[in-house]
Amino acid sequence: MPSYVMLLAPSSNRVYAGATGELATAELRATWPDATEVEAVQLAGVDYLAFDADPEALPTIARQSACFALFERDDELLRPVELPGVFALDDDIVTIPRYQGKTNEQFTQLLLGVTLAAITREPDGNRQILDPLAGRGTTISTALRLGHDAYGVELDEKAFEAMSAFYKTYFRRKRMKHTADVTAVKRNGRAVGRRFDLRVNDNQATVFTGDATRSAALFGKKRFDAVVTDAPYGVAHGATAGGEKDRSPAKLLADAIPVWAGQLKHGGALGLSWNTFGIARDDLAAICERAGLTPWPASEGFAHRVDSSIKRDLFVALKP
């Protein structure tokens, strides 16, 4: 079995960069369990992830969120390894947008990759990925880049508008054949929101304006291979019956997870990141179990500090 070292990609977020070695180790162990001797190392003062794996793991390695380059290790020599092309779109679809509160795009790719690794059902076409807290579309873009179909719900009208405008501009400037349209959503002849539809290459994306807890009502009978989202760190996405915004992520997750679980195909997976200061991992697991989901042990080991008030972790649960 060949020995490899993976050059870790630099991160624009200094705090996240400090945790990259530990996160990369946990990610590879979750997405390719057959890898052995996995450990973060320094060679000539440069950070790498060292491991042993069969060559058939190369597509999975290429999709690692921190993979910048790969080398086969032969004693003290490093031989460059050409990685297979696994991306349907350029990485600038996730790196161009810059705005306050954006989730680190490397972490979004990690979250999506680990969640997809947990799925037990065979694909019946493109994987169908739902982000019910879509924001400006980082998860949507990451899913499209990986060749999946992406769907979302976003309550903030300004975020929805920024996302749809970005995609229209991006694909036009790339001179890629596509369609991108915003249309009104009507119920009983009355406009109740909007939807954005994108088609590019062999993939599509649809995002509704609306509340994350109403995701099932918006998508109807459609089911998904994975629900992947970054839960708010005390910022409201849900709403009470009286229409007042609730700033508690714990309450939002308690209300929304049963809805999202119902939208999963059997054998699908729910993957989310959250601030552990807002709700404990055991409490989150209990919510998922009450919704009929089974926690996936391989999603442990991803906790890391974002700032003084946020300690982010990752949690994946399966729908039997």
Tokens of residue 171, six digits = 């694909």
Sign of the CA dihedral running 249, 127, 302, 295: positive
Residues 199 and 179 sit within 8 Å (Cβ to Cβ):
yes
Q: Specify whether the CB–CB gap between 320 and 266 falls below 8 A.
A: yes
Residue 127: per-residue pLDDT: 98
Indicate the CATH number of 92-318 among 3.30.70.890, 3.90.1520.10, 3.30.70.120, 3.40.50.150: 3.40.50.150
* Chain length of the chain: 320
| DSSP structure class, residue 41 | E
Determine the pLDDT at residue 239.
Answer: 38
Find tokens 């996405």 and name the residue: 237
Q: Sketch the domain layout of the chain as residue ranges.
A: 3-81, 92-318
Reported pTM:
0.93
Position 59 scores a pLDDT of 98
Domain covering 3-81: architecture? 2-Layer Sandwich (3.30)
Digits of tens for pLDDT over the chain (320 positions)?
Answer: 899 999 999 875 666 677 899 999 999 999 999 999 999 999 999 999 999 999 999 999 999 999 999 999 988 899 999 999 999 999 999 999 988 878 889 999 999 999 999 999 999 899 999 999 999 999 999 999 999 999 999 999 999 999 999 999 999 999 999 999 999 998 888 888 999 999 999 999 999 999 999 999 999 999 999 999 999 875 434 433 344 555 558 899 999 999 999 999 999 999 999 999 999 999 999 999 999 999 999 999 999 988 888 899 999 999 99
Yes or no: say if 136 and 97 are a contact pair by the CB < 8 Å rule.
yes
User: What is the Cα–Cα distance from 115 to 182, expressed in whole angstroms?
Assistant: 29
Query: Are 224 and 263 a contacting pair, CB within 8 Å?
Result: yes
Residue 86 · residue 68 · CB < 8 Å: no
Q: How much is the pLDDT for 235? A: 40
pLDDT given for residue 10 in this prediction: 83
Write the CB contacts of 277 (distance below 8 Å, at least 6 apart in sequence): 309, 310, 311
Short-list 54, 58, 56, 86, CA closest to 70: 58
Rg of the chain on CA atoms, in Å? 20
Q: How far is residue 129's CA from residue 113's CA, in Å, rounded to a whole number?
A: 11
Angle, nearest 10°, between helix axes 249-262 and 281-290? 30
Element (H, E) at 195: strand 190-200
